[in-house]
Structure formats: structure tokens, C-alpha cells
Structure 1
Amino acid sequence: MTRIVHDLRLGLEDRLEQELRTLPFEVQGGDPSLEVTLEYDRTAAVVDLGCSGPDGWRGWSGGARDRVVVGADAATPGYLPGPLEPGEWSVQLGLYRLPVEPVPVRVTVETPATSPVPPEPEVVPAPSTPRASDRRLPAPEGLTWFAGDFHAHSTHSDGEQSLGELAGLAVRNGLDFLAVTEHNTVSHHPLLPGIGAAHDLTLLPGQEVTTPRGHANAFGDIGWVDFREPPDRWVRDVAARGGLLSINHPLQGEWAWQHPLTEPPDALELAHVSWFAHPTATAPWALLARWRPGVTLLGGSDYHNPSHGYLPGTPATWVLAEDRSVEALLDAARAGRTAVTRLTAPDAPALVRLGEDLAALDADGAVLGDVEGRARLLHGDRVVLPAHRAGTGPYRLETPTGEILAICT
């Protein structure tokens, strides 16, 4: 057995100098597993945890865990199992929040691991539930509006529900699909098809590329995206691999987007659950004036745990696709065929494209606005506006007091 201990003292100056610290260690041939333990005063600081091996990235748990195990056949959620290749490995510490006065931080690496990896909970299929797509929003022949959520977390990062439990909550809220977007890891990707099939729910592979200066969701089974590279590299790599990249909650407090970009990606999480804290906020619409034309607008609940008081699909993103396979949904999203509603209820106000026209549904008494500030009061539960009268998209539905109800490109 090998035991390596790193005793550090880390404070704000260390974080300002270098946000990510690398602690190397050696793995010998034949080691079946390793265990990393992180100890520090969690009331005084937040230190993220990750691990890398000679053949690449093995996983990230951020500030959610203080102990991880990586073995040949099993690993802590957020980390990839597999044989431990001999050579230089490293513990990766993200210095997310540190006080001015340095605090003691201890990292212990043991091979082999002394703690077992708890098995993934058994997947219990969710009861059959009507799906939002049963509403049959008006669509061209051969296409259907499917409802889902492009931002959610499980125990594979900092969520509290297992993947199976998370999928069950999505079904409970009537979703047709759910993107699982764990922070800086793809350990969940191999598990999604089986869990999705058990729940009759499409689970989109995603990852939230996470840094202290902004987050972006990369969709598609495209391999791990290196958050340590500049964001312009994320944009190029995701596009080259056939994925879709979206800037997340671009104006949300300390998680707002601060990275410079030569060319913004094709998608933007304009609709985020934080709308409910400030439902009349207009700042995101000003952002669109600086974005590329034809941006794909997405919505995300950023679901982590039930204590927040909402389910996945709050808000809901609707995708106009041929079917609800992963490929069809992502192709439709890349093409910009999306709309967002505040809720998934069958009578929730909705705004969708109907060919070149614009259709407002169950929105009697709502206000339709466009990106240039023009607005009109709607009368009737189904209002179809020809393209020449609709104004300039993207569009939004609001209550008379300015609460956002739906958006559409």
C-alpha cells in the first residue's frame, strides 16, 4: 500500500495567482484502485476536486465531495472507472473560494483504495405519465414539438439525485427529454441510454464546462471538453466533434459569463430558472443585440435538488424535431427550431413558429414583444401573426405586468 500526503496552506493570493493547482503522484503497474481524500475547513473555503491520469481526464466532483475512489470496475460518480495505467497521475484542485488568510488543506492519495464504491441505485421506472408533447403544438407535417430541459445535474456532479431519480422527476413533470450536464465530467454518458430506456425518456449527453469566469453546456456524446483551455477552443472543439455549445446563465450573479470570445457559439441559455427570482428582468434581451444572428435559444432549470422547490423542465425548452432520438433533437436544436415556456402545463402560454408565421397559444391578454421593443396586446387563445406583422425576433410573451411567459426565435 502507498500513501502520499500533501499539506498545503492556500489563501486568496494563491487563487489569484493560479486558480487550478496540480498535485502529481505515481501509480505503479498492477495497482487496482486509488483513493483521494481532501480535508479543509468547509466553513472558510470552497476547494474543487478532480483527477487526471496518463491517458487523460478521469473526473471532477467540484466542491461536492471530499473523498473519491477510482478503480478498474467502479468509480465514485463523476469519475471514469477503468484500469489504472501506470505513470504520473495528478490530483486537480480548483481554488474556487478562499479567504485572505490561508487555510490548511490536506490531500491524501492511497493505492489501493481502502473505501468501497457504493453501487449506482437500482433504476425504478417512473409511472406512465402524460407527456408535454401530447399537447400537439401546431407543427409542419412530419415534425413534433417535444418538451425538455437542457440543464440538470445528478450525483455525478453536485446534484442530490441519482441519474435514475433525476430521470423520474423529469417524467413526473411531463418531459420528453432531459439533458444531463455534469460539471467537467462525462462519467454519466455511458449510463444514459439504459436509464433513459427504463423511463421511456430521452436523456441527452451533456457536460457543463465550468470555470470561475463562466459556464457553458456542451451537448452530444463528443468526449470530454477541457475546461482548462480558453473558451474559443471549446467553441472550435465542440463544433468539430459535431456537438452544440451553449453559454449558460450569462447574466446570473457570480456565475455570469466573463470570458472574452472571438466568436460566440451557436446557442445561448437565455431562459434560466433564475427568471423566477426576477421574472421581469429585461437584461437578457439586451444581450441578444450583441449575439450572432440566428442564435439557438435554450432554457434550463439547472436542477440540483428538491429543496429549491421546482422540477426539471422549469422552464421547458420545446424542440421541433422528427422524433425524440438524441440525434433528431440535437439536429433540430442546431437548426434553431426551439421555443421556451415557463411551465409544461397543457394550458401554459406558448409561442412557436408556424412556418414563417408566429403562433401565440393560450395567451389571451398577454403582451407579445420583439427584440426591438415593439409590443402588442393579444386577444384570443390562438393568435397567428403573419411574418410581416410579427416584428423582429426573437419574441417573448409577457403578462401585463411584465413577467416572462414564453420566448421564441
Structure 2
Amino acid sequence: MTTVVEQLHVTLDHQIAQRYHPVPFTVAADSPSVSVALSYDTGRGVVDLGCEGPAGWRGWSGGARDRFTITPDVATPGYLPGELEPGTWQVVLGLHQLPAEGLDVRVEISTPATEPPERERRAAPVTRTVRGSDRDLPAPPGLRWYAGDFHAHTVHSDGSESISELAVRGVRAGLDFVAVTDHNTVSHHPHLAGVGAEHGIGLLPGQEVTTSRGHANALGDIGWVDFRRPASSWVQEVAERGGVLSVNHPVDGDCAWQHPLDVLPAALELWHISWFRDLTHTGALAFRQRWDGPVTLLGGSDFHRPEQGWTLGTPTTWVAAEDPSPEAVLAGVRAGRTAISVGVGPDAVPRPLSAPVLLRVEDDVVAVGGEGTVLVDADGRRRRITSDRLSVPGDWGRGILHLQDADRRVLAIC
């Protein structure tokens, strides 16, 4: 066994020069596995952890883990298993937050690995009691509205639940599909189809391309997107590979979108849990008003762990699609057939069958379950919704339309 220890003192100058700091190491031709352990004073800084091999990216755990193991057959969640190609590898340290005086960092690399990789928990399927598509909302011919969530995390990045546990959560929330969007990795992608079939829910492959200047979801089984490259390259690469790129939570605290873009992506996560906490907040709508051109609107709970106080489907995104498969849902997103609803009742339990929904159906806008609310357009024009199912001519209003209650809370968007 070979163990190499690298002692580093990283400073703001290192962060300025190269935010993703490589620590090279050598893997011999006969090495069966590798493990890496990272240690530093976590009370004084945040250093993210990742790995790259000679043949490409092997995984990322950000600040969620301080160690990983890779073997030919299995790897720590967030990392790709497979043969260890001989040559120069790199531990990639993301210098996310450093104190002014710098930070001492220790990296221990062992070949073969000194500990087995962490295994995911498996959750037993539960009996489904409700499904969003059971609502049978008015839809164009050959399509149906399916309820889902476009932003969720598992143990493959910084979430606390396994893929199967997240699937169970989606079933209990009444969703037809969930996009699994772990940070800067695609290690979860190979497991999604099997787990989704086992639990009776569509699990859409995604990855949250995550940087200090903004996050974006790359949706689709399109391979890994290099977060270290300029954001403008993400837009082009994702489109060329057949996926959909969505700018995430564009006005959320220190995760707001700051990347300059010459070409805008196809989608925008307009409704994020950060807005959900105060549905009278107008920041996201203001951001959309300045978006130059058409865009498909998505919503996402950004679910990480139950103790945060919310679950999947807060908000709920509806997609008009041929079926709830990931391929059909993504086709619906590409075509712009989406709507977003608050998705929960007053007790914060997801209720996709009863929450107000605002839909574009052929030439009309249809408000379902919105009696007593007010329809508002981008210019501030308002119209009272007087029944539980009301069609409004499609030429009424401009831009984003939303349903608003008497307390000015947004309940649904199209």
C-alpha cells in the first residue's frame, strides 16, 4: 500500500489564482482502488472536495464529505466507479471560503483504498395514494399535465437521503416525476431508471452546475458539465447534447446569478423555495421582466434534508407531456409546456390535486381551483377569477401571468 500526505497552506492568493486547486497524485497500473481523506479546521473555512482521473471527471462532494473511495465496482456516492486508469490523477480542492490569514489543509491519498466506499440506504416502496396527473387538468390533444419538482439532492452530493428515499418522498408528495440534480456530478444517473421503476415515479437525470457566482441545472442524461469552464460554454454544450439548462434561484442570497451570458439558456428556475417562504416577494418576477427573450419557467424545492422544513413539490411544476417518463417530460420542457403552482395546502402538505393551477391550453389560459383569486399580467392588468374553472382568451395580458390571493401571495404562474 502507498499513502501520500500533502500538507498545504492555502491563501486568498491561491483562491484568486485558481479557485479549483489541483493536488496531483500517481496511480500505478496495478492499483485496485483509491481513497482520499481531507482535513482542515472547518470552523475557519470551507474547502470543497472532488477528483479527476486521466480519462476525465470522477466525482465531486463539495463540502458535504471529507473523504471518498473509488473502486472498479462501487464508489462513494458522488463519485464514479470504474477501473483506475494508470497515470496522474488530481484531488480537486474548491477554495470556497478562506480566512484572511489562510488555511492549513491536509490531503491523504491511499492506493489501494484504506476504507470501503459508503453504501446508499435502500427504502422500501410505499403505496401511492395520490398522483398529480390524476387531476386530469385540461391539456392539448395527446398530452397530459404531470406534476413534478425540478430541483432535488441526494447523498450523491449534499442531500441526506438516498435516491430511493427521495423517490419515496416524491411518491408521498403526489408527484409524477422528480429531477435529481446533485452538485457537479452525474454519479446518480446510472441508478435513476431502476429506482424510479421500483417506486413508480419518473426520476429525471440532472446535475446542478455549481459555482460561487451562480448555479444552473443541466437536465437530461447528457454527461458531465464542467463547472470550471465559463457559464457561456454550459449553455452551448447542454443544448448541443440535447439537454436543457436552467438558471437556478437567480435572486437567492449569496447564490444569486452573477455569470454574464451572451446567449441565454432555455429555462429559468423562476420559483424556488427561497421565494416560497414569502410569496409576496417580487424579486423573481422582476428578474424575469429583465430576461431578454422567451424562456421556459420551472420551479424547484431544492430539497436537501427533512429538517429544513419543506418537502418535494414546494412548489410544483406541471409539464404537459405524452407520458411521465424522463424523456417525455424533458420534451415537454423543451417545447415550453410548463406551469408552476404553490402545490401545498395551509398545513404545508403537498396537495397537487387541489392547489390552484394556471395553464395555457391551445388558445386559452385556464385557471383551475382558483375561484376568488385575481389574474395578473406583467403590466399589472388584473382580472377576477369567478369560478373554479375559468378560461380566459389567450390574448388577454402580456408576459408572465399569475394568480394572486387577497394577501398578494402568488399561487400559480404560467
In 2, Cα distance between the equivalents of 1:266 and 1:371? 20
CA contact (8 A) 1:123 1:198 kept: no
Structure 1 equivalent of residue 347 of structure 2: none
Structure 1 equivalent of residue 389 of structure 2: 382
Q: Gaps (5+ residues) in structure 2?
A: 344-349
The structure-2 alpha-carbon separation of the partners of 1:13 and 1:277, relative to structure 1 and needing over 3 Å to count, comes to farther
CA contact (8 A) 2:77 2:118 kept: no
Structure 1 equivalent of residue 401 of structure 2: 395
Identity over the aligned pairs, expressed in percent? 56
Amino acid at match of 1:402: R
Work out whether 1:70 is the aligned partner of 2:97: no
Structure 1 equivalent of residue 346 of structure 2: none
TM-score by length of 1: 0.97
Aligned pairs for 1:263-302 (under 5 A) are 263-302=263-302
Structure 2 equivalent of residue 252 of structure 1: 252
Amino acid at match of 1:34: V
* Residue aligned with 1:198, SS: helix
More off after superposition, 267-276 vs 296-305: 267-276
* Residue aligned with 2:133, SS: helix
* Alignment length (residue pairs): 407
CA contact (8 A) 1:202 1:326 kept: yes
In 2, Cα distance between the equivalents of 1:31 and 1:217? 35
CA contact (8 A) 1:196 1:203 kept: yes
1:297-355: CA deviations, max 9, x gaps?
00000000000111111101000001111111101101100000111412211100121
**RMSD over aligned Cα, in angstroms?**
1.1
Work out whether 1:367 is the aligned partner of 2:390: no
Amino acid at match of 1:36: V
In 2, Cα distance between the equivalents of 1:276 and 1:295? 21
What is the CA-CA distance between 1:137 and the residue it aligns to? 0.9
What is the CA-CA distance between 1:372 and the residue it aligns to? 2.0
Q: Gaps (5+ residues) in structure 1?
A: none
1:162-185: CA deviations, max 9, x gaps?
010011001000000000001000
What is the CA-CA distance between 1:291 and the residue it aligns to? 1.8
Structure 2 equivalent of residue 106 of structure 1: 106
Structure 2 equivalent of residue 350 of structure 1: 357
Structure 1 equivalent of residue 89 of structure 2: 89
Aligned pairs for 1:7-406 (under 5 A) are 7-343=7-343, 344-345=350-351, 346-388=353-395, 390-406=396-412
* Residue aligned with 2:383, SS: strand
CA contact (8 A) 1:123 1:195 kept: no
* Residue aligned with 1:234, SS: helix
What is the CA-CA distance between 1:123 and the residue it aligns to? 4.1
1:221-262: CA deviations, max 9, x gaps?
100000011111101100100000000000101000001001
TM-score by length of 2: 0.96
CA contact (8 A) 1:13 1:100 kept: no
* Residue aligned with 1:371, SS: coil
* Residue aligned with 1:332, SS: helix
More off after superposition, 296-305 vs 351-360: 351-360
